[in-house]
Amino acid sequence: MATRRLGIVMNGVTGRMGLNQHLVRSIVAIRQQGGVTLPNGDKVMPDPILVGRNAEKIAALAKQYGIERYTTDLDKAVNDKNDEVFFDAATTQMRADLLMQAIAAGKHVYCEKPIADTMEKAMAAAKAAKAKGIKNGVVQDKLFLPGLRKIKLLNDAGFFGKILSVRGEFGYWVFEGDWGQPAQRPSWNYKLAEGGGIILDMLCHWRYVLDNLFGNVEAVSCLGATHIPTRVDENGKTYKADADDAAYATFQLAGGVIAHMNSSWCVRVQRDDLVTFQVDGTHGSAVAGLTKCVTQSRVNTPRPVWNPDVPQTMKFAEQWEEVPDNIVYENGFKIQWEDFIRHVCADTPWKHDLVEGIKGVQLAELGLKSWKERRWLDVPAIKI
Ligand X SMILES: NC(=O)c1ccc[n+]([C@@H]2O[C@H](COP(=O)([O-])OP(=O)(O)OC[C@H]3O[C@@H](n4cnc5c(N)ncnc54)[C@H](O)[C@@H]3O)[C@@H](O)[C@H]2O)c1
Residues near ligand X (CB under 6 A) are: 12, 14-18, 53, 89-92, 94, 112-113, 139, 141, 186, 201
CB of 107 to ligand X, least distance (A): 18
Q: For residues 143 and 269, is the Cβ–Cβ distance under 8 A?
A: no
Rounded to the nearest whole angstrom, what is the least distance from the CB of residue 139 to ligand X in the complex?
Answer: 5
Q: Cβ distance 29 to 331 under 8 Å?
A: yes
Whether the CB-CB separation of 381 and 221 falls below 8 Å is answered with: no
Q: Closest distance between ligand X and the C-beta of residue 242, in Å?
A: 18
Distance CA(362)–CA(206), nearest Å, equals 12
Nearer to ligand X by C-beta: 106 or 186? 186
CB 239 within 8 A of CB 277: no
Burial class (CB in 10 A: 0-12, 13-18, 19+), 350: middle
> Could you tell me the smallest distance in angstroms from the CB atom of residue 96 to ligand X?
11
In this complex, which beta carbon is closest to ligand X, that of residue 159 or of residue 277?
277
Buried b (16+ CB within 10 A) or exposed e, 36-60: bbbeeeeebebbbbbbbeeeeebee
Which residue lies nearer to ligand X by CB, 163 or 364?
364
Per DSSP, 81 falls in state T
Taking residue 342's Cβ as centre, other Cβ atoms within 10 Å add up to 18
Cβ–Cβ < 8 Å for 64, 24? no
Contact 222, 161 (CB under 8 A): no
Q: Pick the closer one to ligand X by CB: 89 or 163.
A: 89
Beta carbon of residue 20, minimum distance to ligand X (angstroms, whole number): 8
Give min distance, CB of 224 to ligand X, in A.
17
Closest CA to 251 of 323, 316, 166: 166
CB of 188 or CB of 320, closer to ligand X: 188
| Shortest Å distance, C-beta 12 to ligand X | 4
In the 8-state DSSP scheme, what is residue 28?
I
Q: How distant, in Å, are the alpha carbons of 295, 296, 314 from that of 318? A: 11, 10, 9
| Residue nearer to ligand X on the CB measure, 33 or 184 | 184
For ligand X, the nearest residue by Cβ is: 15
Q: How far is the CB of 336 from ligand X (least distance, A)?
A: 10
Give the shortest CB-21-to-ligand X separation in angstroms.
7
- By beta-carbon proximity to ligand X, the closer residue of 51 and 279 is 51
Nearer to ligand X (CB atom), residue 37 or residue 72: 72
Q: In the complex, what is the shortest distance from the CB of residue 92 to ligand X, in angstroms, rounded to a whole number?
A: 4
38 vs 232, which CB is nearer to ligand X? 232
Given the complex with ligand X, which of 187 and 285 has the nearer CB atom?
187
Q: Are 138 and 110 in contact (CB under 8 A)?
A: yes
Kind of pairing between the strands at 108-111 and 85-88: parallel
How far apart CA 15 and CA 123 sit, in angstroms, is 26
CA 136 to each of CA 99, 105, 128, 131, 139: distance values in angstroms, whole numbers, following the listed order = 10, 13, 10, 12, 11
DSSP string across 152-163: HHHHHTTTTSSE
